Structure 1
Amino acid sequence: MHPPSTDTPTRPTGSRAARTAAALCVPSVVLLLLVALEWHPLLSLDGDIARTTHRWAVDDPTTTRVSRILTDWVWDPWAMRALVAVAVIWLALRGAWWLALWITGACAAGSVVQQGLKAAVDRPRPSWPDPVDSAHFAAFPSGHSMTAMVVCGLLLWLLRTHGAGPVLWRTALTLAVISVAGVGLTRIWLGVHWPSDVLGGWLLGALTVAVAIATYTYGPGRRATYGPGSRATDGT
């Protein structure tokens, strides 16, 4: 058995995460205000894109069917949360209880923010005479997009802090980019979200990840070891 690592982090991950969070706050708040105030140029652009993609979806049932499978089963928020559950169980088995709780709390906080904003903004979803899919509750932000960003961002951070090898890291990064981008595009293609809903989900999801990393790095769990073979001990 290897002793817990005492390597000193060489990169100020917490500081970078805090700066990233501060930078993400600006576009997130601006977009939220534009949507809430129903800024006409944004609504017009959303409508133009949505009408075009909906027409494509109606004319291409094969792509639409694949999109529904991906969005309902592969990139569904509950499927993404299941990935986090696996990571949390793995961390708990390695004795990293604080980090496991922190990851769980970050995902829960993201869901609370998402649902709270949906209720507060109460933006109607696109409505079509010939819909190819359906969804309920308010539109902004896209829950699929935000959940995918939160889950993929946190899992990538965990891989980085645990010293994932180059092959594993590149594979995970590629899958994360495909998942985050893909789920947003399927929501627009299926006509259940406006483009700005998806953009809002991405921004708010990235903001949630940055805040989670920053607060964990500076929080009481920063000295928690990750168990045998770990390459970092403080989340940085």
Structure 2
Amino acid sequence: MIARPPLLLPLLALAAFLALAVPVLTDWAPLDRADHALSETFREYGDQRPGLVSALRILTDVAATIPFLVAGLLATILLAARRDRRAAVFCATVTVTVPVLWGLAHWLLHNPRPLDGFVTVSSNGFPSGHTSNAAAAALVVVLLAWPRLARTGRLVTVTAAIAFAVFVGLTRVALLAHWPTDVLGGWLLALTVVPLAAYAVRERTPARAG
């Protein structure tokens, strides 16, 4: 089973993503200054706390592309084995679509990352791939778990999902791997793709296999 999210959510998220992509692409000065100011604050904080930076380098990779793909594949196999075709297709769709879309955005927008960050990354920055992966995984868990849980369980699941997505996004900014706008773009990408995938799968895929 997959919960039905409000259709307005992905539409608003898509509009916000596109509205953010335009000033990012054109290097709009006020947004650029805000990005640099926040990043410099995190740089000063990180310079004084090398132990924290080392810990964040490890923790942030829980949402890297390979762990995201492996987790998505395992979840898809498990759901298929339980003969929940709709949930399996949903999970597989998100697992494939999210990295493809943020990778395409990297290629199209060519937005550079901060210089001299605490991690070495050579690809473009907008939107943050780690953040997109984390937020997408969190949303998938919420939408799959929602119909099966009571009110308390839903509250715990949503709170944990939000905390995970926010934490990964903050690690990307704290490590100077991304600008804050890259992270915001990652959250918006996931808020667009995952609910739309849920709608498409609910409409076109039988609930049970066989």
Deviation at 1:58, TM superposition (A): 1.0
Deviation at 1:165, TM superposition (A): 4.4
Deviation at 1:96, TM superposition (A): 2.1
**What whole-Å deviation, never above 9, does each CA across 1:144-180 have from its counterpart, x for those lacking one?**
000111111012111113x134555444333322210
Number of equivalenced pairs: 210
Deviation at 1:224, TM superposition (A): 1.4
**Residue 196 of structure 1 pairs with residue 185 of structure 2:** no
Aligned residue among 47, 58, 68 for 2:57: 68
Deviation at 1:213, TM superposition (A): 1.5
Distance (Å, rounded) in 2 between the aligned partners of 1:159 and 1:78 = 24
**What is the aligned partner in structure 2 of residue 176 from structure 1?**
161
**Contact kept? 1:75, 1:144, Cα under 8 Å:** yes
Distance (Å, rounded) in 2 between the aligned partners of 1:193 and 1:220 = 37
**Residue 216 of structure 1 pairs with residue 201 of structure 2:** yes
**What is the aligned partner in structure 1 of residue 113 from structure 2?**
125
**Contact kept? 2:113, 2:177, Cα under 8 Å:** yes
CA pair 213-29 structure 1, distance change in 2 beyond 3 A: same
**What is the aligned partner in structure 2 of residue 142 from structure 1?**
128
Greater percentage in helix: 2
**Residue 77 of structure 1 pairs with residue 65 of structure 2:** yes
Distance (Å, rounded) in 1 between the aligned partners of 2:44 and 2:101 = 32
**Residue 114 of structure 1 pairs with residue 127 of structure 2:** no
CA pair 108-180 structure 1, distance change in 2 beyond 3 A: same
**Contact kept? 2:128, 2:178, Cα under 8 Å:** yes
Q: Which residue identity does 1:103 align to in structure 2?
A: C
Distance (Å, rounded) in 2 between the aligned partners of 1:164 and 1:90 = 19
Aligned residue among 20, 27, 31 for 1:38: 27
| Deviates further, 103-112 or 204-213 | 103-112
**What is the aligned partner in structure 1 of residue 208 from structure 2?**
225
Deviation at 1:212, TM superposition (A): 0.9
**Contact kept? 1:81, 1:151, Cα under 8 Å:** no
Deviation at 1:226, TM superposition (A): 7.8
The alignment-based identity, stated in percent, is 26
Structure 1 unaligned segments of length 5 or more: list them. 228-236
**What is the aligned partner in structure 2 of residue 231 from structure 1?**
none
Deviation at 1:98, TM superposition (A): 4.3
Distance (Å, rounded) in 1 between the aligned partners of 2:65 and 2:156 = 21
The structure with the largest alpha-carbon Rg is 1
**Residue 21 of structure 1 pairs with residue 10 of structure 2:** yes
**What is the aligned partner in structure 1 of residue 44 from structure 2?**
55
Aligned residue among 112, 136, 139 for 1:153: 139
Task: Say which SS state the counterpart of residue 138 (structure 1) adopts.
Answer: coil
**Contact kept? 2:85, 2:209, Cα under 8 Å:** no
State the TM-score, normalizing by the size of structure 2: 0.90
* C-alpha RMSD of matched pairs (Å): 2.3
Distance (Å, rounded) in 2 between the aligned partners of 1:172 and 1:126 = 33
